[in-house]
Amino acid sequence: MNQKSWAAVDDYIVDALFEADPVLEAVIAANHDQGLPAIDVSPAQGKLLSLLVRIRGAKRVLEVGTLGGYSTIWMARALPADGKIVTLELDPHHAGVARSNFERSGVSERVDLRVGPALQSLSALGAENAEPFDFVFIDADKPNNPNYLSWAMRLSRPGTVIVCDNVIRDGAVLDEDGHDANVEGARAAFSFIGGDKRLDGTAIQAVGSKGYDGFAIAVVE
């Protein structure tokens, strides 16, 4: 099995199970036109995030790493009318593209996009005494995974679900030599989840249109 068959199976999943979605297609096209890297979650993964938000019954979602808002839109669509997703993005250009994508998708009212280094936005959320989040998706600069997980814990309550993207990295997660900061970030996510008694977690290896990678998933006790 290779990338070609993983991508073909992803296409099959989308064709068999998803309605045609011109809005999300326009989002991906806008991201491309605006020069954003194509590192959003895949359609099948976006749908998984939306299902997890629904299964959790989440009303408040926190996302670290917006890019053009593709994953944000999947999760925002799964929220009830009074739900909210706070999404954090460093790059003002990415944030601008995301904002227009939120308009295009009709989710702007449910999205609170905060521009700047996520660690600053997280500490602002802490200082605001923000209501705890029900669901957290971590998908930004990987070396900060432990810091983001630590903030996720502070902004959570029992039952909060935390998902962390890109923790398998073509299997490079097994490399212990510390030469790749993104791999170290993936390993740090495992250490954090494995080492915190308040978290019960696993990871799912995934192949598909975006290659071989995966999500860590944990619930706060």
Q: Does 39 bind ligand DHB (CB under 6 A)?
A: yes
Nearer to ligand SAH, 90 or 136 (CB): 90
Q: What does the alpha-carbon distance between residue 121 and residue 192 come to, in Å, rounded to a whole number?
A: 21
Closest contact distance (angstroms) between CB of 133 and ligand SAH is 16
List binders of ligand SAH among 93-122 (CB under 6 A). Answer: 94, 117-118
Q: Does 89 bind Mg ion (CB under 5 A)?
A: no
Stretches 17-25, 139-147, 185-193, 195-203: which one binds ligand SAH (CB under 6 A)? 139-147
β-pairing, 199-208 vs 111-115, is unpaired
- The interface mask with ligand DHB, positions 188-217, x = CB under 6 A, is ------------------------------
Closest contact distance (angstroms) between CB of 131 and ligand DHB is 27
Q: Report whether 104 contacts 118 (CB < 8 A).
A: no
Q: What is the 3-state secondary structure (H, E, C) of the chain?
A: CCHHHHHHHHHHHHHHHCCCCHHHHHHHHHHHHCCCCCCCCCHHHHHHHHHHHHHHCCCEEEEECCCCCHHHHHHHHCCCCCCEEEEEECCHHHHHHHHHHHHHHCCHHHEEEEECCHHHHHHHHHHCCCCCCCEEEECCCHHHHHHHHHHHHHCCCCCCEEEEECCCHHHHHHCCCCCCHHHHHHHHHHHHHHHCCCEEEEEEEEEECCEEEEEEEEEEC
Closest contact distance (angstroms) between CB of 185 and ligand SAH is 11
Q: Does 88 bind ligand SAH (CB under 6 A)?
A: yes
Nearer to ligand SAH, 103 or 221 (CB): 103
Binding residue (CB under 6 A) for ligand SAH from 28, 39, 130, 153: 39
Stretches 12-20, 67-75, 122-130, 153-161: which one binds ligand SAH (CB under 6 A)? 67-75
Closest contact distance (angstroms) between CB of 55 and ligand SAH is 19
Q: Does 130 bind ligand DHB (CB under 6 A)?
A: no
Q: What does the alpha-carbon distance between residue 152 and residue 104 come to, in Å, rounded to a whole number?
A: 29
Using CB under 6 A, list all residues that contact ligand DHB: 39, 139, 165-166
Using CB under 6 A, list all residues that contact ligand SAH: 39-41, 65-67, 70-71, 88-91, 94, 117-118, 139-141
